[in-house]
Amino acid sequence: MAKSLVLTVIADDKPGIVEQLSGTIAAHGGNWLESRMAHMAGKFAGILRISVDAGSSSALEADLSALDRQGIQVNVESGEASDDDNSIELTLSLVGNDRPGIVKEVSQALAAMNVNVLELTTDCTPAEMSAVPLFKADACLRVPADFNTEKAAEALEAISNDLMVEIKLD
């Protein structure tokens, strides 16, 4: 029987991290299913989902933990499939002048509407003409099938006027 595992990884960035991680997983018959990984501030960080035979999972977890000796910290959690038959996915995009608190305020509004953030990607880059820092975010959201997207858009637009952030909810 296959077991689903979710791994988080962080290390000082250097060549070979993904190779060491994937080699350890493959050595135990694990299957790399999906991942999000990036270089940030001199660190390599990622999250990934794998499946492995339940009988091999303990040995795999021990070998992943041993990667700490090479400076690769791996946290392993058991995962499970979710039942989301009565939900839909929406996308959210926003762009605005960077300042502290944007993510907090938008996430508060989403949480108040019982919206689940499935994936969030953010970036801060200089604006083309002025070099003023612009904050950009894209999110995949899960909401109930009967979710009122117009009401959500109104709530987020109220924040965007206050924050000078453009929010697009599809």
3-state secondary structure 45-77: EEEEEEEEEHHHHHHHHHHHHHHHHHCEEEEEE
> Do 72 and 116 have their domain in common?
no
Tens of pLDDT, residue by residue over 81-129, are 666 678 889 999 888 888 899 999 999 999 999 999 999 999 999 988 8
> Do 93 and 44 have their domain in common?
no
> Do 57 and 98 have their domain in common?
no
CA quadruple 69, 73, 79, 82: dihedral, nearest 10: -160
User: By C-alpha distance, which of 14, 40, 50 is closest to 121?
Assistant: 40
Q: Which residues contact 15 (CB under 8 A, 6 or more apart)?
A: none
62 token code pair: 């021990």
DSSP bridge pairs for 94: 137, 167
> Do 116 and 134 have their domain in common?
yes
Tens of pLDDT, residue by residue over 35-80, are 999 999 999 999 999 999 999 999 999 999 999 999 999 999 999 8
52 token code pair: 């492995």
> Do 100 and 163 have their domain in common?
yes
* pLDDT at residue 165 tops 70: no
For the entire predicted model, the pTM comes to 0.82
* pLDDT at residue 163 tops 80: no
For residue 122, give its domain range. 87-169
